[in-house]
Amino acid sequence: MAHLDFLNKLHQSTKRDYLARVTHGKKAEFAARARKFDFDYWDGSRDTGYGGYYYDGRWRPVARQMVDHYHLKPSHKILDVGCGKGFLLYEFTQVVPGIQVCGLDVSTYALEKAKEEVKPFLKNGSAVELPFQDQTFDFVVSINALHNLYIHDLHKALKEIERVGCQKYVLMDSYRNEQEKVNLMCWQLTCECFFTPKEWGWIFQQSGYTGDYGFIYFE
């Protein structure tokens, strides 16, 4: 198990007005709409989610780093838990032609709007019960998806990722000080679980998760 940073450069490239989400006075309404993981969350207003989640190639460097670090080959199988529109999976297929990809997401909207090249390999489902045999995948990745689960389901999801993957990487929201905690609470719309790095370490241990991990901080 190792702490690895594949995403912070991408995360930091986005400008965020943390207070705007709460000073509008409709944060609870925005969050309720976002949690449907439908149009509002993916392609609606910035108040309720991404404000338009479209392919722009930004995931290519992330895929390349992961391929290099985990020595992924054309014969390997990859699972993305919480794959959204499948952009990261598409980039894996471009970095390693011939690699087998599979994605799982709770959002039927995201799957319907997914990148056409990988759409046939995406499934609707939950991280708490992965429909795969033990050790099916050479690499399992989950980027900012498990934080949407309540703690009891988070434990189940981590156990499932551990079960189906040989190599694993999960990315979680976290905070190291009170300012980052406030920023995270203001910005998040769908999170049910966000903890300090030390607390995340305890959760990984309790869940039996042995894969790698990373954290996103809202500085």
In the chain, the domains with their CATH numbers are: 8-217 (3.40.50.150)
Q: Collapse the DSSP code of 101 into the 3-class scheme (helix H, G, I; strand E, B; otherwise coil) and give the result.
A: strand
DSSP of 137-194: EEEEEEES-GGGS-HHHHHHHHHHHHHHEEEEEEEEEE-SSHHHHHHHHHH-SS-S--
* pLDDT score recorded for residue 8: 73
* Average pLDDT of span 164-179: 97
Q: Tell me if residue 213 falls in helix, strand or coil.
A: strand
Q: Which pLDDT does position 13 carry in this prediction?
A: 60
How high is the pLDDT of residue 65? 96
Q: Hey, which residues does 172 pair with through a beta bridge?
A: 215
Strand, coil or helix: 123: strand
Q: What is the pLDDT of residue 12?
A: 64
**Sheet with 212-217, side-by-side order of all strands:** 122-124, 100-105, 77-81, 137-143, 165-174, 212-217
* Average pLDDT over all residues of the chain: 94
pLDDT digits (tens, 9 = 90+) for 100-155: 999 999 999 999 999 999 999 999 999 999 999 999 999 999 999 999 999 999 99
- pTM of the complete model: 0.94
> Quick one: pLDDT at residue 105?
98
Identify the pLDDT of residue 87: 98
Give the pLDDT score at 16.
74
Give the model confidence (pLDDT) of 15-56 as tens digits.
777 777 777 668 899 999 999 999 999 999 988 999 999 999
Residue 189 · residue 148 · CB < 8 Å: no
CA-based diameter of the chain, in Å? 51
Running DSSP on this structure, what letter comes out for residue 42? H
Helix (H) or strand (E) holding 95: helix 87-95
Residues in the chain, overall count: 219
Q: What is the pLDDT of residue 18?
A: 75
Q: What is the DSSP letter of 207?
A: H
- Measured in whole angstroms, how far is the alpha carbon of residue 99 from the centre of its chain? 20
